[in-house]
Amino acid sequence: MTVACTPFAATKSPSRNIRRTVLPNGLLVLTESIPHVRSVSMGVWIRSGSRDESLELNGISHFVEHMVFKGTTTRDAQQFAREVDSIGGNLDAFTGKEAICFNIKVLDENVSRALDLLTDLVLHPTFTPEDIVREQGVILEEIKMDEDSPDYLVHETFTQNFWKGDALGRPILGTVKSVSSFTQQIVFDFYRSCFTPRNMVFSAAGNLDHDRFVAQVAERFRDLAASPEGDIAKPTSPATFPHITLKRKKSLEQVQLCMGMPAPPVDSPARYGVYLLNTMLGGGMSSRLFQTIREERGLAYSIYSETSPFRDTGSLSIYAGTSVEKTGEVIRLTIAELRRLKEEPVQEAELKRAKDQLKSNIVLGLESSSSRMSNLARQEMYFGRFYSIDEIVAAVETITSADIQELAQQLFQPEQIAVTVLGNLGNLVINREALAC
């Protein structure tokens, strides 16, 4: 197929071999050429996820992600499996709060066949009533399985109460009630509204040629009509609720603890400072929480902190698994570390160690074609531009000890802290005074 250059408006990134082309129907195609590898990873990203669902349709994004694998107008599920295996491919998908992704990784010699499989999956699902009923049963079992996982359940309970009443707080899988209500018409209506060119990003990375790849994508997507003008409406930024939730589950041997507070969104100028703060607090074996609570006191086997940034909000949370007798002490020591970060500037040696750890994680995280493919799509969806490793490293290096202390003072506000505790809690009581940092 011969593709005219003019309507595609291809642009190129100067620092990485990244090119960007918009097809006539509005579909954005991103590629990064990595000539020294033998693989190609490609993914179709939908720019909406579970937080964009109504209460009644909670779980529909995840449900549709599952359903497209059940067969298309040209292949059934077994044919898909056989064809993917025949080219040694890895076909996968996931649903998040703000995106759905379908992706495949293959040898560079199998790009065309992999592209056939991926686009057939995304563009031609059948959603038969029989498959819908079967998949409802599968996902209801998945919901039960996750509810039997204590660390998942404590995070889910925390999230639901932290963003109470908002779609961001609702489970990605949906509920037994919502999933059981899905019909073929509901599934098709959702699919048609979200699987549109303007709501998609097609990203690929590996040993490929941009122009040739774009021509192949254009051929397969030529029948997908252009989206209506205007983007899909996104919900407003939700309020957070500083709750204290004790959920009793007598069958558990261990108490699961999740503590968190509001944090900046994914594109915040403060994001690198937040990443460093999280690294020092609980982001590794040398972190303060790990050393104090596990290594020095022996109060928990698993303890860590993590950030969850979204397009307009975020959270920083701390997880620990401990005994009911030690829960109060774990909370006390955690609060003490938050207070210390607010009151005492971090030493330069600790800050340098955190910077080196963060920079290494960023660089090592971009060593595969699949991670580069994901990075392309995420940077496009959240920033509308591409940050090179050099730019990111330079930004990390500018963060000072004073910046970290100022961030800690902004984030670690006692009245904003939320806590969820799950387990055989006995007479355990947690009051707001215990969270004073």
Catalytic residues: 65
Number of Cβ within a 10 Å radius of residue 170 = 22
CA atoms of 203 and 151, how far apart (whole Å): 33
Structure tokens at 261: 């507070």
CA distances 77 to 18, 74, 84, 228, 431, Å, are 34, 10, 11, 32, 53
Nearest to 260 by CA among 319, 312, 310, 311: 319
Residue type present at position 292 = T
Q: What are phi and psi of 72, to 5 degrees?
A: -125, -175
CA atoms of 46 and 49, how far apart (whole Å): 8
Number of Cβ within a 10 Å radius of residue 228 = 11
Q: What is the DSSP string of 321-340?
A: EE-HHHHHHHHHHHHHHHHH
CA distances 47 to 106, 119, 146, 201, 391, Å, are 24, 17, 25, 8, 25
Q: Where are the alpha helices (DSSP H) in 75-124?
A: 77-86, 111-123
- What are the b/e assignments for 29-62, b being 16+ CB within 10 Å? bbbbbbeebebbbbbbbbbbbbbbbeeebbbbbb
Contact 296, 420 (CB under 8 A): no
Residue type present at position 60 = I
CA angle centred on 214, ends 208 and 218, rounded to 5°: 145
Bridge pairing between strands 28-33 and 200-206: parallel
For the four alpha carbons of 238, 241, 247 and 253, in that order, the dihedral sign comes to positive
Contact 204, 40 (CB under 8 A): yes
Structure tokens at 399: 């963060």
